[in-house]
Structure 1
Amino acid sequence: MKTNLDFTPLFRSSIGFDRIFDLLENASRVTAIDNWPPYNIAKTGEDDYRITMAVAGFSQDQLTITHQPNLLLVSGSQSGEDDGQYLYRGVPGRAFERQFELADHVKVVGASLENGLLNIDLKRELPEEMKPRRIAIAGSTAQAKPRQIEAEKNAA
């Protein structure tokens, strides 16, 4: 069952959330979801993440990781045909392309291939001007002089 959501009322009262609305609309447009290769996304620290993909049968030179602004693209393709005769082939060797939408300021810090698992480490690095900072409250620099109350004047 597909539900089309109308975000128009939200545009009237919000500013700067265009990217979020676009992501929600794009997510609702996805028709066929390919679940190969399987992957995990784990949060390994406060600002650290790891994507682990099962890419059995692929070597380092057959995998490509591309980081674009707010998008991570992982693809793999095996060159050449395998001439072996299989009675059963449970490990697929087909080409794939997987996209991950990344939040602002998320960077790829490394990737490794071990035992058929591709690990991609990500880190959110906020620029210094976006981090919370404490604002000092200054006191009054000019000290107020005590005011003298006028004495009553005696009438003569």
Structure 2
Amino acid sequence: MSRITPFASPLLLGFDAMEKTLERISKASDGYPPYNIERIAADRTSNAPERLRITLAVAGFSEDELDVSTEENQLVIRGRQVDQGQRDYLYRGIAARQFQRMFVLAEGIQVLGASLKNGLLSVDLVRPEPDRMVKKINISVSQ
């Protein structure tokens, strides 16, 4: 039995990559760590494009325990805390925990940088305005 998808229409040519992206998004539903995504308005005087900022709550993680990378069209943020030897806990409510959070990036999105401050990891993104292209397609006449 074959699976029929919304992208199986003959009018939607070349959208199989989008279908795979939607499948990946639906599988990544872990809620840790919590995050915000905000739009940072463009500065009208400098003609700079609008930016996006993803901020993750990573309290307890040091810079060395965090990794921010791009893989294909995904932003991947990983955290791995190392248990610091033998400690005599009377109560342990903060676990040394790992995480991996993935964000699918649209075509053309670029990562500007990342910063860690007060337990918040901020990753800045920008989408430069694409050049408007009009391409004329010649019509050949055959007889």
**Which residue of structure 2 aligns with residue 41 of structure 1?**
37
Match in the other structure for 1:77: 80
Q: What root-mean-square deviation, in Å, do the aligned CA atoms of Structure 1 and Structure 2 show? A: 2.5
Letter of the 2:131 counterpart:
K
CA distance in 2, matches of 1:103, 1:109: 15
Higher normalized contact order (CA 8 Å, seq sep 6+, divided by chain length): 2
Cα deviation for residue 7 of structure 1 reads 1.9
Alpha-carbon offset, residue 108 of structure 1: 0.8
Whole-Å Cα distance in 2 between the matches of residues 124 and 94 of structure 1? 33
User: For residues 37 and 8 of structure 1, do their structure 2 counterparts lie closer, same or farther at Cα, with a shift above 3 Å needed?
Assistant: closer
- The change in CA–CA distance for 1:43 and 1:76 in structure 2 (over 3 A counts) is same
TM-aligned CA deviation for residue 26 of structure 1: 3.3
**Shift of residue 110 of structure 1?**
1.1
Unaligned runs of 5+ in 1: 135-156
More displaced 10-residue stretch of structure 1: 108-117 or 19-28 = 19-28
What TM-score does the superposition give when structure 2 sets the normalisation length? 0.73
**Structure 1 residues 116, 20: CA separation in 2 closer, same or farther (over 3 Å shift)?**
same
Structure 2 unaligned regions, length at least 5: 43-49, 135-143
Counting aligned pairs with the same residue, the percent is 37
1:26/1:96 CA distance change after superposition, 3 Å: closer
Which is higher, the Rg of structure 1 or of structure 2? Answer: 1
CA drift of 1:80 comes to: 2.9
Aligned-pair distance for 1:96? 0.9
Distance 1:105 1:8, change over 3 A: closer
The TM-score normalised by the length of structure 1 is 0.68
Counterpart CA distance in 2 for 1:25 and 1:96 is 20
The Cα offsets for residues 3-58 of structure 1, whole Å up to 9 and x where unpaired, read as: x8722543x00233232222223334x2x732111111112136311100000000
Tell me how far apart the structure 1 counterparts of residues 53 and 80 of structure 2 sit (CA, whole Å): 22
1:55 maps to which of 52, 58, 76: 58
How many matched pairs? Answer: 124
Moved more, 109-118 or 71-80: 71-80
